[in-house]
């Protein structure tokens, strides 16, 4: 079997193009083993939904915050990644499941509380959709529906980019 064909098939099947830091092993034998070894030891990564018009709603949310608030949110994302990489259960004070595989990351700042919504995708990806400043005790349904819509758009864009798998 031609190794280029093998690599093409693997990259199409496993979406290897998307994995940050992945460099394929082009040995004629063991390419799948190399991938599986890499995949099993791979760290979680954070990413953000990009809409069809090129906007990233989570960036818009971050842009509306102060530098200190942005730093707190980025530190919390790093903390979630660290917890997940160590197979630890996230404390409910940091993150909780809302519904339909949408999760909420909670960050308390000096004067406000922010919520960032996200979901998990294959390949140990944590995909952030949108965020908002907390004004009520319950997470607004409008924000959850927005996250679900952005997740759907993410999968449609992913399917369009990589073809049906």
Q: Which residues, at least 6 apart from 51, have a Cβ–Cβ distance to it below 8 Å?
A: 57, 150, 153
Alpha carbons 30 and 102: distance in angstroms, whole number: 37
Per-residue pLDDT of the chain (165 residues; tens, 9 = 90+): 233 333 333 334 344 444 444 444 433 333 334 444 444 556 899 999 999 898 999 999 999 999 999 999 999 999 999 999 998 988 998 999 999 999 999 999 998 999 999 999 998 999 999 999 988 888 999 999 999 999 999 999 887 666 554
Could you tell me the residue ranges of all domains in the chain?
Answer: 3-41, 45-162
Closest CA to 150 of 132, 124, 134, 123: 132
Report residue 158 as tokens: 């992913």
């Amino acid at each position: 079997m031609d190794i280029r064909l093998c690599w093409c098939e693997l990259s199409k099947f496993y979406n290897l193009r998307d994995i940050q830091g992945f460099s394929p092993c082009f040995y004629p034998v063991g390419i799948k083993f190399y991938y599986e070894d890499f995949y099993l030891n791979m760290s979680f990564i954070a990413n953000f939904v990009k809409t069809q018009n090129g906007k990233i709603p989570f960036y818009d949310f971050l842009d509306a915050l102060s530098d200190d608030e942005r730093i707190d949110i980025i530190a919390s994302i790093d903390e979630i990644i660290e917890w997940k990489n160590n197979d630890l259960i996230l404390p409910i004070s940091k993150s909780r499941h809302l519904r339909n595989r949408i999760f909420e990351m909670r960050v308390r700042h000096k004067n406000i509380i922010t919520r960032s919504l996200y979901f998990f995708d294959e390949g140990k990806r944590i995909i952030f959709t949108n965020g908002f400043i907390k004004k009520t005790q319950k997470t607004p349904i409008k924000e959850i529906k927005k996250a679900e819509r952005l997740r759907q758009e993410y999968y449609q864009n992913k399917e369009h980019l990589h073809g049906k798998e």
